[in-house]
Structure 1
Amino acid sequence: MNDKLHILRGSTAGSIAGADHVLDIGPERAGWTHSSLRIVELAPGGIHSLTTGESEWIVLPLEGACTVRTADEEFQLLGRESVFASVTDFAYVPRDAQAQIASGAGGRFALAGAKCERQLPARYGPAPEVPVEERGSGNCARQVRNFASADAFDCAKLIAVEVITPGGNWSSYPPHKHDEHRPGEESELEEIYYFEIDGPGGFGYQRVSPSREGGSDVLAEVRSGDAVLVPDGWHGPSIAQPGHTMYYLNVMAGPGETREWRICFHPEHTATTGGYR
């Protein structure tokens, strides 16, 4: 299971529509039905053409600025110097649309997607409106940037957040899961973790443990550009190497009629931590 769920940087790379995809994970590659993530690198003056198909997408600058054009809208994304520098603005592109992503100076951009039925309007997400949450304490402290959480930005299916974990700290802790539909208690969501580590030679660790017999089981050493798929199971902790801040982008979607993030905590860990730290 570890080999299939830990996606190494470059292992899904390719050139599509004039851009270099250093990561390309869709439902077919992941073996599920909804969640997608592409990491696109554009050279100076580069343009990437996006056909959204049956999925809605958020264009999220990781490094650099870009312009996102659809048939009816044009959004200038100021972006950021790096994922460790600040939150960023972003653009939402609906299903059944054509878009172009152009960058004068070049950069790296995440395209987070989810298959959906509803077609919403294309929109701009300003950086100052992104809710930033300081979650946890002590060596479980981290920053969560809820740019497309279920209660922060309207999407049909897609849920996406960024997490910054200081070096030496744990996040995604206690381990939790969302692999069953239990109304009011737990939502069924496929999840992708995409990682970047600050500083040369940096790494982190990601754990996914089975919540059922034969379920997902991963202990991965992750480096910048890697991803871990979570089709099911308890996920966490995410552990940052001392001296190296860890970033991850979470992309989630599922079959539920209601777009919501409801999780169940691992009972053996919550008894000692007293909740989601």
Structure 2
Amino acid sequence: MSTDESRQPVDSGLYVPAGAAATGPYALRIDPERAGWTHSALRVLELAPGASHTFATGDSEWIVLPLSGGCTVRTPDASFELLGRESVFGGVTDFAYLPRDAQAQIASGAGGRFALAGAKCGRRLPARYVPAPEVSVELRGSGPCSRQVNNFAAAGAFDCDRLIAVEVLTPGGNWSSYPPHKHDRDVPGVESELEEIYYFEIEGGGAGYHRVSPSRAGGADVLAEVRTGDVVLVPDGWHGPSIAPPGRDMYYLNVMAGPGDTREWLISDHPDHGWIRDTWPGQPADPRLPLYGPAGAEARR
């Protein structure tokens, strides 16, 4: 957080309200060129019942993640049936990985919304399918900082070349992405340089809040009221908290990638707020968690 409380934050185009980056079949299309960086991308594809969409993966790897509904994902070498889910608040979903330099088709008999999390990459890995029961569910934090993380494509959970992606669910009234932290420089063993996209949904409507504060002069500076379909881009800076409104659970999809030789998520906590982690071992996790997922999800604080 900034130590100058009188300074008003500006978003510099880093807050993207729902619909502002819509094009063609995509309700959201954030490619590296749109974001002004080099690696991370996110698209949200909306398909009517019986519709399909074909696209070239190009120089990027992609994960097809159902937000609502199910679909069939095809490449010239593979075909996967994704069962999907009713909504991001309804359960963990299965997903498919698509390699770079491929043609892909996504088709849905009943229709739905599907996130395409992507990253420019070098290696061409095989297309793969992961069923929902194999997705690791983690509880992070404690007390009012408790949240649930679905580590479907975390660095240690699924093999990609560059892409890192997770889902975070925050019970109403809680703070997540807290303490504020950053990953905007490459310091081996300490911090990894990663561009990050936050895509938000609020259960039942309403608004939450998200903060990004500068880690250097002229850096990212955002204070945004976020609603379903909104996006915040984080090229650098301290990000957090993400604040869920009382009575309304908050979901966000994090998509990250960067130029480092090693695919890893290493962060530095804000020096004014990192102390909060020391209080977690003495507090229980929010009893509302996990909102869903494998029984007995382990808490990591």
TM-score range, shorter chain: over 0.9
- The reply on whether 1:255 has 2:259 as its aligned counterpart is yes
2:41 equivalent among 33, 36, 39: 36
Partners of 1:119 and 1:273 lie apart in 2 by 38
Residues 179, 276 of structure 2: 8 Å contact kept: no
Deviation at 1:274, TM superposition (A): 2.0
1:265 equivalent among 249, 266, 269: 269
TM-score w.r.t. structure 1 length?
Answer: 0.96
For residues 93-242 of structure 1, the aligned pairs below 5 Å read 93-200=98-205, 202-242=206-246
Partners of 1:209 and 1:96 lie apart in 2 by 37
Partners of 1:181 and 1:136 lie apart in 2 by 25
What are structure 1's unaligned runs of at least 5 residues?
A: none
Residue identity (%): 72
Residues 64, 78 of structure 1: 8 Å contact kept: yes
Partners of 1:95 and 1:272 lie apart in 2 by 41
Partners of 2:194 and 2:77 lie apart in 1 by 31
Deviation at 1:275, TM superposition (A): 7.4
Partners of 2:57 and 2:279 lie apart in 1 by 39
- The reply on whether 1:14 has 2:19 as its aligned counterpart is no
Look up the match of 2:286: none
Look up the match of 1:76: 81
The secondary structure found in structure 1 opposite 2:166 is strand
Deviation at 1:3, TM superposition (A): 4.5
Q: Which has the higher strand share?
A: 1
Deviation at 1:14, TM superposition (A): 1.4
Residue 208 of structure 2 aligns to which amino acid in structure 1?
G
Partners of 1:184 and 1:159 lie apart in 2 by 17
Partners of 2:70 and 2:12 lie apart in 1 by 34
The secondary structure found in structure 1 opposite 2:126 is coil
Partners of 2:259 and 2:12 lie apart in 1 by 26
Residues 174, 275 of structure 1: 8 Å contact kept: no
Aligned in 2, Cα 1:275/1:174: closer, same or farther, shift over 3 Å? farther
How many residues in Structure 1 have an aligned counterpart in Structure 2?
272
Deviations 1:152-205 (A, max 9, x none): 0000000000000000000000000000000010000000000000003x1110
The secondary structure found in structure 2 opposite 1:28 is helix
Residue 167 of structure 1 aligns to which amino acid in structure 2?
G
Deviation at 1:126, TM superposition (A): 1.1
Residue 44 of structure 2 aligns to which amino acid in structure 1?
I
Partners of 1:144 and 1:58 lie apart in 2 by 17
What are structure 2's unaligned runs of at least 5 residues?
A: 1-9, 281-300
Look up the match of 2:28: 23
